[in-house]
Structure 1
Amino acid sequence: MRIGLIGLGRIGAFHAETLSGLPAVTELVVTDAVPAVTERIAQKYGAEPAADPAALLGSGVDGVVIAAATDAHPQLILAAVESGLPVFCEKPVARGAVEAAEVLRHCAGATVQIGYNRRFDPGFAAARAAVVGGELGRLHTVRSTTMDPAPPPAGYLAGSGGIFRDCSVHDFDIIRYVTGREVVEVYATGSTRGDALFAEIGDAATTAAILTLDDDTLAVVSNTRYNGRGYDVRLEVHGTADSIAVGLEDKLPLRSVEPGAAFPAGPPHTFFMDRFTTAYRLELAAFTEVVAGTRESPCTVADAVEAGWIAEACTLSLREHRPVRLSEVRSAA
């Protein structure tokens, strides 16, 4: 099949490599806002360059992968949908949940997959299977962690919408996915300790949030931009019959100080592309099945909007130092 790729920055270039290696993708068409980047990536992966997104959409592609900047996501999603094409778009759908909900209204019935890659990681998939299979009994506690080794570039941070919308949404989505429950209330706190930029742009460098799910399960989400040992992504799910964890493997960026402990034994993960290489490949392979019509979207715009509402509630909770119900942010939209 012939797949188009819009946006060739850090994640877009990574997707170009992945797509070029998928058996189902026989032709790849690429474009970026910087023509020199388009030409470089096209030559590197034997892809066809397109002058701009409009040219790419009109080039006879069977599906489109969007990896452009967040602010361009709504326009590009809707342009692809209007062209009648299946769409994969990196998270988030839009900078804020209100705009994302508007995108959802305009693409009802369209085939759109949003890039929440943890759903395809083997460990997270096994956790979901354990919960669905009833192995844990009644859930009572979930702990989800995303800790970056260092902040993204200043320009990226300024346009990201904040740590809850940019980073924590992965935790919010995977909590919904693994538990099968919805979040009804949040309480969030945070610190700007680190680069002065965080305070200047009204963001936080380190955050914690408690989420109450609709069956009274409690979820604790921890995030930071400063985790010196590496890129730490984990999930714990505790129930009345059993407890399980994702991420407890030899590349876990956590050092045990227990006498005689040798775990973890390997070098720690230092980058999200390293941690989730397999998940990204499985995610894009799933999209080729969506394009072929043999699979429904495994992560819809509606799923992404729900994660976005949780991010909005946490952002408001952090700002006003109080619990926030999801119904409040939805009704204010």
Structure 2
Amino acid sequence: MRIGILGLGRIGAFHAETLFGLDVVDLLVVCDPVADAAKAAGERFGADVVDSAEALLDAGVDGVVVAAATDAHPALILAGVDAGVPVLCEKPVARTMSEGVQVLKAVAGRDVPVQIGFNRRFDAGFVAARDAVRSGELGTLHTVRSTTLDPAPPPAAYIAASGGIFRDCSVHDFDIIRWVTGREVTEVYAVGGNRGADYIRAAGDADTTGAVLTLDDGTIAVVSNSRHNGRGHDVRMEIHGFEDSVAVGLEDKLPLRSVEPGVTFPAGTPHDFFMDRFADAYRAELTAFTEVVAGTRPSPCTVADALEAGWIAEACTLSLREHRPVRVEEVREG
């Protein structure tokens, strides 16, 4: 199988290394506006190097991974679909939800699968939590808690182009809450503050946020996010039901320190970055994409799925700005 990669920045290079290690992938074809990045990938992985998306799609690839800048996502997704090549695109689908809706309309009814990169759907812990919910062993759910705490904020240029913490960071929590519970979010109330980097405040964004989500069956989900977590990269979920409760991320590399006397858990070195925390999940995600390319499974995260998480982010952004509860239907377009 020949897989193309458009974009060889941090995540694109990481994907190239992961794909190179998959037995089913025979050859990588790579492209990046920075010639040195493409050349380095070509030399490291024995990849064919091309100078444009058009050339990559004409190179006989069976599937293409889009890891380019967000602004390029819509055009590259549609170029792949128009060429009949299955696409895996990193989130988000587009910079704005309006553009994302246009992509959804353009791919609707097409036979070419598109997979959007929400890697937590492939993490073993989240998969087990979903299975526990779907089996009924937890009973009726009443509370979900989802946490994403980064060890340090991204650079100022990234923050300025990110769309805000809800669209960039919390959206992973929103997607995984939907996926694990199988429920939709109907209303949100969000708060936020700035206790750290001045450039985040200057960009009109918050560095620490909380959101209460009401699901369509009455379950309450609490989402906590921050750009500043000195102990490491903390991603967790708790799911509480009337019969039982389970947790994702409660393991020895959890970046949290107990102050209870005699307690030595967690004993491992804390996770320090998302690529450390989710290395296995990314491998499972890319393996799933090769199965999508082979036609043996449908897309495990469609454009429509990604937009649903995006609408929740939009509602939280409005809630934070106007200091009020916001129903998701209030912000939905198309």
Structure 2 length as normaliser, TM-score? 0.98
Shift of 1:232: 0.1
Structure 1: distance between partners of 2:170 and 2:298: 26
CA contact (8 A) 1:138 1:239 kept: yes
Shift of 1:199: 1.6
Supply the AA of the counterpart residue of 1:229: R
Structure 2: distance between partners of 1:225 and 1:44: 33
Structure 2: distance between partners of 1:96 and 1:315: 13
Instruction: Please show how residues 5-16 of structure 1 align to structure 2 within 5 Å.
Output: 5-16=5-16
SS in 1 for 2:332: helix
Partner in structure 2 of residue 327 of structure 1:
329
Instruction: Please show how residues 197-236 of structure 1 align to structure 2 within 5 Å.
Output: 197-236=199-238
Give deviations 1:208-251, integer Å, cap 9, x for gaps. Answer: 00000000100000000000000000000000000000000000
Structure 2: distance between partners of 1:280 and 1:86: 18
Partner in structure 1 of residue 99 of structure 2:
99
Shift of 1:197: 1.0
CA contact (8 A) 1:29 1:47 kept: yes
Supply the AA of the counterpart residue of 2:4: G
Partner in structure 2 of residue 274 of structure 1:
276
TM superposition outliers: structure 1 runs of 4+ over 4 Å? none
Of 237, 260, 264, the residue aligned with 2:266 is 264
CA contact (8 A) 2:70 2:95 kept: yes
Structure 1: distance between partners of 2:229 and 2:98: 31
Q: Percent identity?
A: 70
Partner in structure 2 of residue 66 of structure 1:
66
Instruction: Please show how residues 1-333 of structure 1 align to structure 2 within 5 Å.
Output: 1-108=1-108, 109=110, 110-331=112-333
Supply the AA of the counterpart residue of 1:105: K
SS in 1 for 2:214: strand
Supply the AA of the counterpart residue of 2:224: S
Give deviations 1:73-128, integer Å, cap 9, x for gaps. Answer: 11111111111110000111112222211111111133100100000000000000
Supply the AA of the counterpart residue of 1:206: T
Q: Which runs of 5+ in 1 are unaligned?
A: none
Give deviations 1:139-183, integer Å, cap 9, x for gaps. Answer: 000000000000011111111111000000100000000000000
SS in 2 for 1:330: coil
SS in 2 for 1:161: coil
Q: Please identify, of 47-56 and 3-12, the stretch whose mean Cα deviation from structure 2 is larger.
A: 47-56
Q: Which runs of 5+ in 2 are unaligned?
A: none
CA contact (8 A) 1:96 1:312 kept: no
SS in 2 for 1:190: strand
CA contact (8 A) 2:140 2:242 kept: yes
Shift of 1:307: 0.3
SS in 2 for 1:221: strand
Structure 1 length as normaliser, TM-score? 0.98
CA contact (8 A) 1:95 1:165 kept: no
Supply the AA of the counterpart residue of 1:52: S
Structure 2: distance between partners of 1:16 and 1:321: 43
Structure 2: distance between partners of 1:75 and 1:156: 21
